[in-house]
Chain A
Amino acid sequence: MSAEATTNLPRRVNYLNVDHGVKSWLLTKDHKRIAILYLVSISFFFAIGGLMASLIRLELATPAGDLVQADVYNRLFTAHGVIMIFLFLIPSIPAVLGNFLIPIMIGAKDLAFPKLNLASWYVYNLGAALMMWALLRGGADTGWTFYTPYSSMYANSEVILTALGAFIVGFSSIMTGLNFIVTIHRMRAPGLTWFRLPLFVWAHYATSLIQVLGTPVVAIAILLVAAERLLHIGIFDPAVGGDPVLFQHLFWFYSHPAVYIMILPSMGVMSELVTAFSRKRIFGYRFVAFSSLAIAVLGFLVWGHHLFVSSQSILAGVIFSVLTMLVAVPSAVKVFNWTATLYKGSISWETPMLYAIGYVGLFVIGGLTGTMLATLGFDIHVHDTYFVVAHFHYIMVGGAVMGYLGGLHFWWPKITGRLYPAFWSKISALLIFVGFNLTFFPQFVVGYLGMPRRYHAYPEEFQVLNVLSSAGATVLAVGYILPTIYFIWSMRYGERAGANPWGAYGLEWQIPSPPPTHNFEEKPVVTTEAYDYYTLKEKRVA
């Protein structure tokens, strides 16, 4: 199947052209089509969340609160947080790239539960619709964390609708995670043992564990806030001996591991990119694989570091501080192993590799500032300042979004069968890297100097750094708009990609682009380790 010569041949039937019409998409059970549906949905919400971010940066360009009122500003950053976290970051890589690739990478025809997979997309959109409705009615002003007692007793904004939206979207996340776990356990091709799996699959397995174990807890916490507002069942109400801090415990039991739901899949993408563009086996396969599981497990033991200044006991603070430091170990294992993989590799600077290299730098900064914040004394100094904001954006944008975009650029030819313009994609990768650092690095400084987060006005001495940040956000916005344009352009005008445009190793590159509906003509039998580039090269020479 030499796919390079397909241009002049009659069109091969693939998952995209096998069926036409809106109905064939809305009722599809094909994991690849559902991935596309998710791609459309999350791109839409990324744009809305981005719009909120632009308004926030615009307001902060001047010290005075002149563009929006304080109350509107509260609603803006709440909407930005809720949309970006629940509607973009959490589903992004798993629901799009994971959905598309996991069955192919393990040699299966589909996920274990295709109907559940489609249902998860509908559930996601139902929850998203509730949130959008809430937004149109004025939105919530609690911050994405819905802290009690403000959310349960005082806020007079659309808390219930927004919270129920998050509650419902949570179920779609659980459905995806459950589907992945069962698929990876039960649907692997003959010969594909656990230690032959691509690390992308390991990372998604670890992510799914968090989705399944954590999400229900935040679901019940959010439900209890809604119950307190609606039915006066005041579980967190101090008037009946309730403790608002208990909400924070339940909330962060999920929401800290949720950060790893965002970052782990992007780490999986990284392992694929680094090996593919160094033409080398990953350094220390088992360490990278197990570090994903270690991050997933340790991630559940650290949530109390969000409660250092919330009247949590000092002893618990110390325990959580120490446990948090431990997460740095598996994270560092990954970074060291990626860099070791680069060593003596034959590196090519394709666009996905640019994202991968950028990722390593940004993730190291995000991770190291994370260990700084895990230190009790330091956290009390910078708690609720822009230092924290900068830290988690380095992880979530510098890590998760860079990984997502890198992966999207890597597998776009597989998904659509077309290549995108290399020049423009490199420009946009550069713009995103520069724009991102310009936006968020000044926030470390301004936060350390004492500027608190979540205010629409600030003292004049912070203006220079804030203007830098707003300017960076503009560059970043251009960097995000460019791919949108050339991706859409490439779907019609892009050069045909062929089965394996990068010369990469893995089952997904052995089938045509775009893949046929059932992925494989014949059930594949796997006989080699992952990333076996050495054998691949020998075969080529022969």
Chain B
Amino acid sequence: MTEHITSVRTYLLVFIALMILTAVTVLVAFQDFGAWNDVVALTIAVIKASLVVLFFMHIYHSTRLSKLVVVSGLVWLVILIGLTLSDYLSRGLVGLASS
């Protein structure tokens, strides 16, 4: 694989997008969307992180293997948080017959 060199223009565009998203997430934080506040804030964070991974970290132009490594890291994080929550969010849902 020959190295792909990202142009300075792309870097600057990504930087500007990240700055705009930061401003948006701060402004949106003061609005009340009820339970959706968490979703909005995290969605913006995920978009920002994806921009950094894809362009600053060159994953967009990288091998399938590198993409797989990134995805597996995220999948395992989801396993860790998800299965732990399967305990915490279901406590008391199903009771013991005796109690």
Chain A residues with CB below 8 A from B88, complex form: 313
Q: Does B95 contact A (CB under 8 A)?
A: yes
Interchain CB contact under 8 A, B76 and A313: no
Q: Does B96 contact A (CB under 8 A)?
A: yes
**A314 CB to nearest B CB, Å:** 4
Expressed in whole angstroms, the Cα–Cα distance for A132 and B17 within the complex equals: 53
Q: Does B8 contact A (CB under 8 A)?
A: no
**B46 CB to nearest A CB, Å:** 21
Interchain CB contact under 8 A, A319 and B95: no
Interface residues in chain B, defined as those with a beta carbon under 8 Å from any beta carbon in chain A = 65, 72-73, 76, 79-80, 83-84, 86-88, 90-96
The interface centre, meaning the residue of B65, B72, B83, B87 with most chain A CB atoms within 10 A of its CB, is B87
Within 8 A of B (CB), among A304-352: 304, 307, 311-316, 319-320
**CB-nearest residue of chain A to B92:** A313
Q: How many residues of A contact B (CB 8 A)?
A: 21
Interface residues in chain A, defined as those with a beta carbon under 8 Å from any beta carbon in chain B = 185, 213, 217, 245-246, 249-250, 253, 300-301, 303-304, 307, 311-316, 319-320
Residue from A185, A250, A300, A307 within 8 A of B87 (CB atoms): A307
- The main secondary structure of chain A at its interface with chain B is helix
Supplied contacts A213-B73, A213-B76, A249-B87, 16 more A-B pairs, CB within 8 Å: A217-B80, A245-B87, A250-B84, A304-B86, A304-B87, A313-B93, A313-B94, A314-B90, A314-B94, A314-B96, A315-B90, A315-B94, A316-B83, A316-B87, A319-B83, A319-B86
**B58 CB to nearest A CB, Å:** 18
Chain B residues with CB below 8 A from A316, complex form: 83, 86-87, 90
Expressed in whole angstroms, the Cα–Cα distance for A300 and B73 within the complex equals: 13
Residue from B65, B76, B80, B93 within 8 A of A315 (CB atoms): B93
**A406 CB to nearest B CB, Å:** 32
**A29 CB to nearest B CB, Å:** 26
Expressed in whole angstroms, the Cα–Cα distance for A303 and B79 within the complex equals: 11
Expressed in whole angstroms, the Cα–Cα distance for A249 and B94 within the complex equals: 20
Residue from B65, B73, B79 within 8 A of A301 (CB atoms): B79
